[in-house]
Every structure is written in structure tokens, then in C-alpha cells.
Amino acid sequence: MKRLLYITFLTCGLTLSGVAQDTDIFPRGEKAANVHHVGNVWLSELSPADQVFTYSTSVATFDPGARLDWHSHPGGQILLITQGVGYYQEKGKSKQTVRKGDVVKCQPGVEHWHGATPDSGVTYVATSPAQNGKTVWLKRVTDEEYGAGSSTTSNGASNANNQEQDVLALSKDKWTWMADKNVDKLKDLFDDKAVFVHMGGSWGKEQELNVIKSGGIHYKKADVHEASAQIIGNTAIVLNRITLLAVVGGNEVTNPFIVTEVYTKENGKWKMGSLSFTKTMGPGTEQPKK
């Protein structure tokens, strides 16, 4: 099934991991000389700009750890991530993790860099209006900048730990998306066969999305007291101990829960297979009505 592409302006946090490399869609082209990047990068111009189509379109393939120097595009640039997991950072903002299916818009003149994560290569198709001038190359991305705020490290031995951190970051983003009723993000996160278990019943993806969209249940605020992740092969099990402020059928209710989330890695991307709420005793527990 064809993936749904969605536009992301990167104002919201993108996270996630992935190591799997599929086969290349386009030829990798020539390995680029290390002038404006570190590590191994292949560049191939797919469609040069001409009189009619004034956009130059290229594919870039990065080995793990490879990244471009800081730069800007006078005409801006759009990146369509086709494979793997990478980083994208604009000056003065925190680094974002981007993955297969993400669309990144670099505004004209904005200083930024992009590249692979330490543990995964990344491939993207880049398109940029050529008539406004060539890329302006700036400083090299330092190891501190590359590593800053990263949930991954260059130590391969800690890969399992990285995966735990990645899935925990995704779980955290998910609470934000649920609070914001960001159905587009959740639609992408939930596997088509995902199951959801609530106090009021259990159901599948479509119903969960409808419930969130309609406000039938609004997960207004989840205070996460504790979160842990276990990686078992391609499966991640995340436990969140939370106090949830929700609006259910128009009434605000606060309840303590242990939330079990099951994720499976598909094509290098974590998808949610299950979300299950188990009510616990504890602060915030509502006394049963008599």
C-alpha cells in the first residue's frame, strides 16, 4: 500500500529510529568528494533545472554518521525522506529526527544542516529552485552539535539503549499528539491492525481516531510519572505510569493509569500495535460512586 505523505513544517517534534535499509529507489550516483560534508555521501542529480522546470531535483544517500556542513539555499529546499533515519536542524532550533515518509521544508536563506543519524543511513530526494542561486556553504557541523540532544550515540554497543530512548521519545510525542487531537500524526503512528483498550471498551484504529477527532475522549493532559521501554526483537513494550486528565463525554475526569504501549518496527519505523489503559490505585484515584 502506498504510504501517505504528509507535510511537516518541523515545528513539531519528529522522533524515531530505524536501522533497516531498503533497496535504493534511484541509482546512488557518484560518491561525493568530502568538501562540504563528513562521512560517506552519494549524490545523483535526477532532473537538472531547465527553462521549463526550474527546480533541480537530486537524490542524496548518507552512510550512518555522515552529515552536510551548515548551509543555506537562496531559493529554499524541500527534502522528501525516502529511506532510513536522519537529522535536520535549523540555526537556533533543536535538532529534529526525520525518517522515511517525512517531508521537510527549508525556507529560503535559513541556515541549516542535514544528514544521517549515527546508527542509520538516510536517503532523501531534494528539490530546490535553481534560478535563485546556488547553495551557500558555511561551517562544519561540530561533534557537539551533531551529538547534542540526540537520543542516539555513536557507540554501537548501546544500540538497544538507543532504541529504548527512541521509542520513549515517540511515546512522549504521542501524548502531545493525543492532547492536540493531531489525528494526522496518530494515523501515521497507529498500525492498521492496532487495538486500543480503555475502561469503556476496546476497539481498532478507525474508531480510536474517530473518538479522538470527535472529542468523544479527549486526552487533555497526561502527567507521565515514569516510563520504561523493553525491546524484544522488532517489538517494543513501553509502560507509562500516568495521571490522565481526560474529557469523556463532556466531563473532565482524572485517573491514574498504567498504560501499556506495544510498538513494532516496520521498514525502520516504529508503529503502534496496542495502547491499553489499566486503572491503578493511587493519587488521583476517583472513589467509586455509591
Please report, as ranges, the residues that interact with Mn ion according to CB under 5 A.
77
43 phi and psi, to 5 degrees? Answer: -125, 140
**Between 115 and 256, CB nearer to Mn ion:** 115
**Between 105 and 213, CB nearer to Mn ion:** 105
Partners of 56 in beta bridges: 128
Reduced to 3 states (helix: H, G, I; strand: E, B; else coil), residue 32 is coil
Q: DSSP letters of 46-88?
A: EE---SS--EEEEEEEE-TT-EEPSEE-TT-EEEEEEEEEEEE
Smallest distance from Mn ion to CB 129, Å: 13
**Between 77 and 163, CB nearer to Mn ion:** 77
Reduced to 3 states (helix: H, G, I; strand: E, B; else coil), residue 212 is helix
As a whole number of angstroms, the distance between CA 228 and CA 219 comes to: 20
As a whole number of angstroms, the distance between CA 55 and CA 50 comes to: 8
Smallest distance from Mn ion to CB 224, Å: 34
182 phi and psi, to 5 degrees? Answer: -80, 80
Nearest to 234, CA basis, from 131, 179, 125, 160: 160
Smallest distance from Mn ion to CB 196, Å: 39
Which residue in this structure is represented by grid cell 503502534?
Answer: 272
**Between 138 and 183, CB nearer to Mn ion:** 138
SS (H, E, C) 129-168: EHHHCCCEECCCCCHHHHHCCCCCCCCHHHHHHHHHHHHH
Smallest distance from Mn ion to CB 116, Å: 14
Smallest distance from Mn ion to CB 20, Å: 25
Q: DSSP letters of 178-210?
A: HHTT-HHHHHHHEEEEEEEEETTEEEEHHHHHH
Smallest distance from Mn ion to CB 269, Å: 23
Chain position whose Cβ is nearest to Mn ion: 77
**Between 77 and 274, CB nearer to Mn ion:** 77
Smallest distance from Mn ion to CB 112, Å: 6
**Between 47 and 230, CB nearer to Mn ion:** 47
**Between 15 and 77, CB nearer to Mn ion:** 77
Smallest distance from Mn ion to CB 47, Å: 17
Q: Which residues of 5-43 are buried (b: 16+ CB within 10 A; e: fewer)?
A: eeebebeeebbbbbbebeeeeeeebeebeeebbbebbbb
Residue type, 84: G
**Between 5 and 136, CB nearer to Mn ion:** 136
